Structures are given as structure tokens and as C-alpha cells.
């Protein structure tokens, strides 16, 4: 009988600790607010050109209206994105890059691509459907 009371007290203490943890930790769900990379001076009425950037472990694939190109390193990717952005601006079109990290990619590649887009004020969007 004494062992049953001790077990019940341990369960009570465990539940109290659990409830305290839940009450103290402020559980929140929300979205990550990524800053837009576009110019604030850009008129909202500009047409939009969308390109998909598939991020793999060792290379990147850019797909847009002009076709598909494969880039092997970050410096090459930066040059391609800057050129695409320049061409779009010359045509008065806003470029938006849809970032699509593949399962084989590493997180650092995604962060590097986001940095490139921010550095050159290229708008970006994450494809959340690919995240598991």
C-alpha cells in the first residue's frame, strides 16, 4: 500500500512539472518573416517574371521562360542571377526567384542563395511545399 502512494506522488509531481513547463514555455506557431529583396522605389505595377531555383548539394538549376541552366558554384550562380535581374530591369519587369531546395541540398546553400538575393535586391520566395 505504501508503494502505491509513493508511485501516485511521483506521478503527481511529474504532471505538475509538465504543466509548469507548458505554462512557462510560450508555445507559438508562426511564419518566418523574410524581408523582401526588391527596391522600395519599384512601382507595384511592374510585370513579374518568375524563375525557379532548384538547390542541390553540389549544384544549382535555374528554370525560367528562357529554359534551364545548371550552375556548379555560388560565384557562377551569383553572376547568373545578377544578369537575369539586369535583363528584367531593362525590360521593366520585376524578377522573383522561387527557391526550391531539394532533399539532397544542405541548409548552408539555401542561406547563401538568400544572401545573394538580399545583396543584389532580388525578390525571393521559398517553396514551402518541398519542406517535410
Domain membership flag for residue 6: no
Q: Is the Cβ–Cβ distance between 93 and 65 less than 8 Å?
A: no
- Residues 30-40: pLDDT tens digits? 555 666 655 55
3-state secondary structure of 55: strand
Residue 70 within a domain: yes
Q: Is 73 within the bounds of a domain?
A: yes
CA distance 126 to 101: 9
60-104 pLDDT tens trace: 999 988 788 899 898 999 998 999 899 888 988 888 888 888 887
Is it the case that residue 59 has pLDDT exceeding 70? yes
CB-based contacts of 38, cutoff 8 Å, min separation 6: 94, 121, 122, 123
CATH code of the domain in which 96 resides: 3.30.420.270
Domain holding 67, by residue range, is 47-130
pLDDT in tens, 1-51: 677 788 888 999 999 998 888 777 765 555 556 666 555 555 556 788 888
Which residues make beta-bridge pairs with 101?
55
Q: What is the pLDDT of residue 67?
A: 85
Phi, psi dihedral angles at 121 (to 5 degrees): 55, 50
Residue 89 located in a structural domain = yes
HEC profile of 91-110: CCEEEEEEEEECCCCCHHHH
Residue 14 domain-assigned?
no
Q: Is residue 78 part of a domain?
A: yes
For residue 131, the model assigns a pLDDT of 57
Please check whether residue 13 lies inside any domain of the structure. no
Please check whether residue 109 lies inside any domain of the structure. yes
The pLDDT of residue 37: 55
| pTM (whole model) above 0.85 | no
d(CA 122, CA 117): 5
Q: Say how many domains are in the chain.
A: 1
Residue 70 — φ and ψ, nearest 5°? -110, 135
Strand partners, 78: none
Between 95 and 130, residue with greater pLDDT: 95
Amino acid at each position: 500500500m505504501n508503494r502505491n502512494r509513493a508511485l501516485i506522488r511521483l506521478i503527481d509531481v511529474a504532471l505538475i512539472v509538465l504543466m509548469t513547463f507548458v505554462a512557462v514555455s510560450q508555445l507559438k506557431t508562426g511564419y518566418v518573416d523574410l524581408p523582401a529583396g526588391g527596391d522600395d522605389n519599384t512601382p507595384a505595377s511592374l510585370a513579374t517574371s518568375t524563375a525557379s531555383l532548384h538547390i542541390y548539394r553540389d549544384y544549382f538549376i535555374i528554370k525560367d521562360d528562357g529554359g534551364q541552366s545548371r550552375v556548379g558554384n555560388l560565384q557562377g550562380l551569383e553572376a547568373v542571377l545578377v544578369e537575369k535581374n539586369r535583363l528584367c530591369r531593362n525590360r521593366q519587369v520585376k524578377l522573383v526567384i522561387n527557391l526550391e531546395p531539394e532533399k539532397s541540398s544542405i541548409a548552408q546553400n539555401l542561406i547563401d542563395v538568400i544572401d545573394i538575393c538580399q545583396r543584389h535586391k532580388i525578390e525571393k520566395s521559398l517553396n514551402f511545399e518541398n519542406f517535410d
